Amino acid sequence: MTEPDDLPAAIRAAALGLDVTAVEANEDGTISWSRNKVVFAVLQGGTAEFRIGRAIAEAAVRTPDTAPSGRGRDWVAFAPPMLDGHALDRLVAWFGAAHRRAVPDG
């Protein structure tokens, strides 16, 4: 099995086997993933954003190809120019972490 070489394919691969995940594609090309009606990942253009929690997001923005997300302090924006092994590992880990944390407030 070959590794995905673009963000959409990598996120689709990361989502395989995860339960209770809904995917929504918007007219502007944005794709979002949610669980329990909580959006936890968003792909827009060449940037993927993950709701991984404040502590992890603060650490994540110190890694290559990341930035704080405009979605809030619980999110990290990830825009790798290419998906090498390290970038793919981070994407899979962050998607999984965001999926686990997708629980309704309250």
Percent of the chain clearing pLDDT 90 (strictly above) = 76
pLDDT at 106: 47
List pLDDT tens digits, range 41-92: 999 999 999 999 999 999 999 999 999 999 999 999 999 999 999 999 999 9
The 3-state DSSP class for residue 11 equals helix
Buried b (16+ CB within 10 A) or exposed e, 36-50: eeebbbbbbeebbbb
Cα torsion 27, 100, 11, 29 to 10°: value is: 10
The domain limits of the chain are 7-101
Distances (CA, A) of 79 to 21, 43, 99, 106: 23, 10, 19, 32
Q: What does 41-79 look like in DSSP terms, one character per residue? A: EEEETTEEEEE--HHHHHHHTTSTTEEE-TT-TTEEEE-
Q: What is the mean pLDDT of the segment spanning 29-36? A: 94
Would you tell me which CATH number, out of the four given (3.90.1150.30, 1.10.3720.10, 3.40.50.300, 3.40.190.10), belongs to the domain 7-101?
A: 3.90.1150.30
Determine if the pTM surpasses 0.95: no
pLDDT at 3: 66
- For 36, left (φ over 0), alpha (ψ -120 to 50), or beta? left
